[in-house]
Amino acid sequence: MAKASDLAYETIRAMVLSGELSPGEQLSEETLAERCGVSRTPVRDALRRLEAELLVRKNESQRSFVADWSVDDVADAFELRAMMEGHAARRAAERMTPQVLDDLRQINTRLCAAIQKRPDPDIAGFLEYNKQFHELILKAADSRRLTTLLSALIEQPVVWRTAQHYGAEAFNRSHNEHDDLLSAFARKDGPWAEAIMAGHIRRAFHVYADAHRGLASVESAA
């Protein structure tokens, strides 16, 4: 049962994070069981785990839905990320090794190639390399507590949705901010790394918020 439950959890979680299951979409246990190749009981268990991670919500009648985040919810999440990931960047800078710094440079080079792909940027590639970059910084920070607290925030579907609204300038700015982080890491300058990371996260929030307000305006006019 544990393996079936884990399979259902990983499959449904991936569909939520990728946007395959849309915010606010009702989740049918029967349909999900068919897609995961398991019975409904493991799906039920998976949905409980995802509810605890704030990726799924239940209404008063106990029906499950993909969680939708208001701008206030997103602002709160990004504020927490800015504080905690800024602290992680400071710790990483103070503990930085030549090997980790080289690995970070290579990942950022791949990220650059993804956003420069033509005719359109490779958003999936950008998201993957961006995730690797931030995960490696967190690993270098060497704090189990920070890793636990940040995991849910970094992988939330909002990150995926934010990237969908990036234009060429926003992609390039994100890459350049990574370069600035690399400069701080090379000098083992913790306060500088912390400031850059906090600003990096705050800018990403404003991209999301601006896009959300634009979408809300279009819907109100319809």
Contact 85, 197 (CB under 8 A): yes
**pLDDT tens-digit profile of 167-193?**
888 899 999 999 999 999 999 999 999
**Dihedral angle over CA of 97, 98, 101, 102, nearest 10:** -150
**Range scoring the smallest mean pLDDT among 35-49, 59-73, 77-91:** 59-73
pLDDT for position 124? 85
CATH class of 71-221: mainly alpha
Return the sign of the alpha-carbon dihedral for residues 75, 81, 153, 121.
positive
pLDDT tops 90 at residue 133? yes
* Delimiting residues of CATH 1.10.10.10 domain(s) in the chain: 2-66
Partners of residue 27 on adjacent β-strands: 64
**Range scoring the smallest mean pLDDT among 141-150, 157-166, 212-221:** 212-221
Which of 3.40.366.10, 1.10.10.10, 3.40.50.720, 3.90.79.10 would CATH assign to domain 2-66? 1.10.10.10
In 3D space, the residue among 105, 35, 110, 77 whose CA is nearest the CA of residue 202 turns out to be 77
69 vs 183, which has greater pLDDT?
183
Mean pLDDT value of segment 62-74: 83
pLDDT tops 80 at residue 159? no
| 19 token code pair | 């946007």
Contact 175, 139 (CB under 8 A): no
33 vs 55, which has greater pLDDT?
33
* Delimiting residues of CATH 1.20.120.530 domain(s) in the chain: 71-221
